[in-house]
Chains A and B, each alone.
Chain A
Amino acid sequence: MTEVLVVGAGPAGLAAALAARARGAAVTLLDAADELGGQYWRHLPPQRPAARERALHHGWARFERMRRELEADPGCEVLTSAQVWAIEPADDDGRVGADGRLIDGGDRAVAGAAARAALVVHVLVGPVDGADRVARSIRPDALVLATGAHDRTLPFPGWDLPGVFTAGAAQALAKGERVAVGERVVVAGAGPFLLPVAASLAATGARVVGVHEANRPGRLAAGWLPRPWALIGAVGKAGELAGYAWNHVRHRIPYRTGSAVVAAHGTDRVEAVTIASLDRDWRPIAGTERRVEADAVCVSHGFTPRLELPIAAGCAITSDRFVVVDAGQGTSVAGVYAAGEITGIGGVDAALAEGAVAGHVAAGGSPTDAEISREMRARRTTTDFAGRIEASHGIRSGWTAWLDDDTLVCRCEEVPYGRLRATGDATCSTGLRSLKLTTRAGLGICQGRICGRTVEHLLGGDGGFADGVSTDRRPIAAPVRLAELAGASAPNRPEGHLRKETP
C-alpha cells in the first residue's frame, strides 16, 4: 500500500489526506498546530466549544465533515502538535535513477510505478517549543506539502510598536480565542484578505475605524468588479456572522482605496497612525497625511508562502517564488507534491481543489481520473483567481518612500533602513549571504521570515544577487533544542513501511 505523508492540515492538506485515502493509500496527516483547519478554519479550542462556531466561518460544515471523516478513519493517522523541522535525503536515494524511477527498490521496484519519494521527514511531537518533544522520522512513499503562507507586512515608521499587528494576527486571535486586538482598530495594507479581517474584528466587538487598501480603484477594477464587497465573496465568503458583520462593515466602515498607514505613533505602544493617499505606485502623496487615533493597527500587504520544507525537499521554485507544480500537483522532485498557498496565493477554494488533486496523484492516481475531474476544473478557475489577486493587489515599488532612516527593516536584529543602506553602500557587496552577515538583517530568530523579502528588495532591487542566495532557504525549518537534536533518531533504515519511531 502506498504510504502518503501530508504536512499541513489546512484546507489543502485536509483535502489531500481525504483524496489519498479515497484512493486507498495509508495516510499520515500532521500539523504543527494542535488543531486541524490551518489558517482558514482556525476555531475555538475543544475546551471552549462554541455552539455557533459555524457563524464565523465559510464552509464550516464542510470542515467538520472532513475532520470527522479523517479522525474516524483507522487508515489515517492524524498527528497534531507535530512540527516538521527538517527534511533530508533518504539513505537509499542513490537508487533513484535519472528518470526518477527506482532502480533497485527490491520488491518495490514495480515497473511503471511512480517513483517513491527519497526523503526522510523529521518531526518533533509535543507542546509548541517544548524542551522534550518526541522525535519521529517518517520515510513516506509520497509526500504532500501543504504548509500554507503567512502575512507579508511591509515596514513603516513605528511598525515595531506594540499594538501594531499583522492582519493575520487579528484574525487568529478573533477566531481562535475571541480576543479583539484593540477597541479602535485601523486595518490597512493590500488584498481581499483585509475585508474578512475587518469583519472578524467587528464580530469580536472591536470598532474598525477604517480599512485602507493601497491600490487605487483603477487597478482594482482591472482585476475585480469595482465593488469592493464583491471581493469577500471571492475570498471564499465569510461565515453568516462575519457576513452580517460585513453588512455592517459595508455600511459603517469607510473602505478607502489608494490609501495606507504610512506611520504609527506612540512611545511604548501605538496611539495613532498617519494615513496618506498613495499614487498608483504606492508613493504617498504629499499633503494628504492625516492622523487617526487608534489603539491597534492591523497591516498586511499580501502573503508569503512557507517554502522552507519544499526547498529542503529540493523542489524547484518559480521566479515569483512559489513551488513549481505540474497538472497533478507534482513538484520537480519525484514523489513530492505541493498544494495550497505554497503554489500560489489563491484562497481556500484553490487550496481545497489542489489538495484533492495532490492527494489523489500522490496515492497513485492520475490527474485525468474521473474521481477528481471536478477538482481539476476548480483548480483551473482558481488559478485565474490567483492571477487577479496579484494583478489588483500586488506590491508596488513606491512604498519605500514612506521609510525613514530609523525605520526598522529587520525586527529581530533591529536593523534600521538607514544602516542597511549605508552598509550595503560601504561594502558594495553583490551577494545576499554577505549582505545578511554584514548588516545582520535576517539573521535573527525569525530567520528572515518577516523581513527576508523586504531585505532582498531593498538591497538587490529586482535583479537578484550574484550568489543566487534566497532568504527562503532554512534547512532547520523550526527551532530545535540542542538536547532534542542530540537525541534525534538514528538514520532510517531504507526498507519497510512508514516508519514511525520514538527513540
Chain B
Amino acid sequence: MTTPRLALRGLRKAFGRREVLAGVDLDVRAGESLVVIGASGTGKSVLLKCILGLLRPDSGSIRLDGEELVGLSGPRLEAARARIGMLFQGSALFDSLPVWRNVTFALTSGRSVRGREMKARAIAELARVGLAPEVADLRPAALSGGMQKRVALARAICARPDILFFDEPTTGLDPVMAGQIDRLIREQVSALGATALSITHDLESVRRVADRVAMLAGGRIVWEGPVGVLDCSGHPLVERFVRGRAGDSPVGAEAPA
C-alpha cells in the first residue's frame, strides 16, 4: 500500500453543542478525483475548511503525503498550502482587483508587482478555462456567475497546485454551464496530474467529475466506492441520493446551513 495523498482519521468538529463532523475517516489517493456527496448542511464545507486549515478540528488527524497538517504552522504550513488550490462555493473573487490580478494572486501573494508579466500569464490562464483576453481587465462584479466560476478556477490552478478542492462548483449554474465547468475541472485535473477532492450535491456533476465517491451523513463517511457502482451501492442513503431526493431531505442534519 502506498501512502494516500490525503488521509483523514477520526476528524471531529463541533460548533457549540452541535457536532458537525463526528469522526471522519477518508483517503484520497494520488491522481484520483474523489467526490464527497451529502445533503445540505451535513458539514461538507466544514470538512474542506478543516483540511485547508481555515477551521481547527477538535480532534483527529489530517495527513498530506504522510505529514500531519493539524496544528502545523509557519513555513511548513505555507509549503503545504502552496500545493493546494481551492475553488470556493461562491467563487470568492476579490472584487477590489481586476480579473487578471485575481488570477495571478497566488504568484505574487497579492503584491502589485510584475504587472506586464502577470497580465500575460493571466490571459494564458484565462484561455485554459475558455475565457477571452478582454475579460482580464474587467472587475469580477461585471461577470456572470458562470464566468466568475471560470475565473475562480483559473485562479485556483494558476500556481499549479497538485491538490485541488472544489466546493460545490456547479451550484447556482444552469445545466449547460454546469456541464462546462465540470468538463473544465476534469480537463485541468488530468492536465496537471493533480489530485482532486470535490463536494457536491449535484448527481450529474458527480458522474462527470468523480473517479470515486464518498457519502457524508451524520458526521461520518457512511459509504464509499467507485463512481461505476453508485447506482448499485446497496446503501439506503446513497440510493436516496441517486434517486434525486437527497438535496431536499435533511439526511443526518438537524438544521440546514
A, B bound: no
